[in-house]
Structure 1
Amino acid sequence: MTGRRRPYRWALWLALAVAAVVFVYPFVWLVSASLKPRSEVFDNALIPHDWAPENYATIWSAAPVLTWLLNSVVVAVAAAAAVTVSSAVVAFGFAYFRFPGRHALFGLVIGTMMLPGAVTVIPTYLIWNELGLAATQVPLWAGNLFGSAFYIFLIRQFFLGLPRELFEAARVDGAGYWRLFWRIAVPLCRPALIVSFVFELRASWSDLLKPLIYLRDPALFTMPRGMKAVLDQFGQAGEARWEVVLAGAVLTTVPMIVAFFLCQRYFVEGVATQGRKG
């Protein structure tokens, strides 16, 4: 039996290796091109003939990259923390409490995922403008204080997988609902919370639309908004120095790769088990 399974195992490993190469190749090409001189950027060689690490010094001196990176960290962490906590609170309410119309209300929340984000751009901007915050970084993360349908669904699935007897025993001991949430539900569902945090961290880190709409001061730019300015200066409409643009793209991408590897164990566990109970 083992001998029969061996060819299938090798075929699976081969398929996974091919898929890994397909997914990794664009990033390897990006790093390679960012280390090439201007004349060799698009020669498709993965190993540069002539190395040009000064491309990183150029982008670092031509733009306030460190400021943009710090802005992105602040905005992304604030957005991820806000949506994780708010979504977890709502998800716990749907998972623990039994009330009439609970399923219909949950379906309505999930239905908001069908609403395109572009539909709410103008009214949302008008709200922030009335509050006097339209030219700040606050709109980039504060909207997440109201939760997200996708994360509510994901975290709720974890909460439903917890034995209800744990909560009932805590209630008998006098625990309040808030204590049930923080002391029982949250520690046991840490993988789902980390998955939500990492998902939103990546989404906020790579978001260009909101910074384009709200940010005017270069000192407040996030990395995607800053890279748009770099592209305007060094791209096709500017000096056509794509090696500098690609060096900036590498600086934008690497932090998310590091974040994924730091949270990989929880990330894989959360994605693999989020649908275990409905």
Structure 2
Amino acid sequence: MSGFIWVMPVRRLYYYWLFYSWLLGFKKNFRRGGCFMNKIPIFCKDKRQIWVIISYILIIAGAIGMLMPFLWMVSTSLKEINQVFIIPPKWVPEPFHWKNYKKVFELINFGRYYLNTILVTAGRMIGMFITCTLAGYAFARLKFPGRDILFFLLLTTLMLPFEVLMVPVFILMKNLHWINTYQALIIPHALGAFGGVFSVFLMKQFFLTIPRELEEAAIIDGASPFRVFWSVMLPLVKPALAAMAIFTFGSAWNDFTYPLIVTNTDNMKLLSLGIAGFKGFREGMTQWPLMMAASVMSILPMVIVFVFAQKYFIEGVKTTGMKG
């Protein structure tokens, strides 16, 4: 019964949104007489219009379903601990407890975690831009013995879960005396050791879509291979670079397992580890409002990056499958 009560406001919100979108989306069609019954869209003569209606309904329902966890996260971040699990739940807290965001910085070293995450993310992105673009260009354009076999072996590493590599990676970092250092957090990923294979594949596929005539013209003009790569090819792969940037940024920003292995001091934690510290923070009770407040602040950079780069991201992912 409690689960049914919890679902009721969500279902009501869903129905309101469908009705509102129905009014906005089909008002123009009704005025033009697109249906022989102007008030009931299900009787439209054009079957394609019915599928458009169904598609919009499914898209809106999916969007609401994906936005609900984020809205609930923001709502919980503005509540007190005793308001989190009340039945029926309240989406709009009364009053707003903005002090939760201030407490995050007071109770944990959140500023240090944020700085560490920014530095590690920037270092990994710069390193992967260099290594993955060069590797992708080499596999796409250069001819050398064993190229296809090497690329196939590289792709097979995608089937290895990180859990298989955890112990060897820890032993390697320990022997290098890199535990609790930025080198351990940045260099392996910057060299494409974890997650770089997909970026290499992404860049290779995009380079294959560029006509060879552009390279040949640059070579005739006296450009060296690196000059061709830097001045001719690289400016043409901006969509793929944007897609790789978003993938790398999201992976580095949300990384949890790898930092857990190579760091054990508070001043080297990343955001994911720091936020997890609120679980059982005080007297064995999870501070959900503080955890949600920290989570809201942690996802803001990802939202900003995706909003400004989504056009290139979609174009890059779409274009990489055009030629094999």
Same fold (TM over 0.5): yes
How far apart are residue 39 of structure 1 and its match? Answer: 1.6
Percentage of identical aligned residues: 31
TM-score, normalized by length of structure 1?
0.93
2:105 corresponds in structure 1 to 60
Of 228, 237, 247, the residue aligned with 2:293 is 247
Equivalences for 1:75-90 in 2 at 5 Å?
75-90=120-135
Equivalences for 1:20-35 in 2 at 5 Å?
20-35=63-78
Aligned length: 276
How far apart are residue 212 of structure 1 and its match? Answer: 1.3
Q: 2: CA distance between counterparts of 1:263 and 1:208?
A: 24
How far apart are residue 163 of structure 1 and its match? Answer: 0.1
Residue 153 of structure 2 is aligned to residue 108 of structure 1: yes
Q: 1: CA distance between counterparts of 2:280 and 2:129?
A: 35
TM-score, normalized by length of structure 2?
0.80
Residue 80 of structure 2 is aligned to residue 37 of structure 1: yes
Structure number with greater Rg is 2
Deviations 1:205-247 (A, max 9, x none): 111112211222312211111112232414xx63443211221
1:164 corresponds in structure 2 to 212
Residue 260 of structure 2 is aligned to residue 260 of structure 1: no
- What 5-or-longer segments of structure 2 have no aligned partner? 1-33, 35-44
Q: 2: CA distance between counterparts of 1:80 and 1:246?
A: 27
How far apart are residue 111 of structure 1 and its match? Answer: 0.9
Bigger RCO (CA 8 Å, 6+ sep):
1
2:20 corresponds in structure 1 to none
Q: 2: CA distance between counterparts of 1:138 and 1:228?
A: 23
2:235 corresponds in structure 1 to 187
Q: 2: CA distance between counterparts of 1:136 and 1:17?
A: 45
How far apart are residue 71 of structure 1 and its match? Answer: 1.0
Q: 1: CA distance between counterparts of 2:67 and 2:147?
A: 44
Q: 2: CA distance between counterparts of 1:145 and 1:28?
A: 34
2:163 corresponds in structure 1 to 118
- What 5-or-longer segments of structure 1 have no aligned partner? none
Segments of 4+ moved more than 3 angstroms? 1-4
Task: Kindly indicate whether the alpha-carbon contact (under 8 Å) linking 1:137 and 1:214 is maintained by their aligned counterparts in 2.
Answer: no
How far apart are residue 176 of structure 1 and its match? Answer: 1.1
2:174 corresponds in structure 1 to 129
Q: 1: CA distance between counterparts of 2:221 and 2:286?
A: 69
CA RMSD of aligned residues (A): 1.8
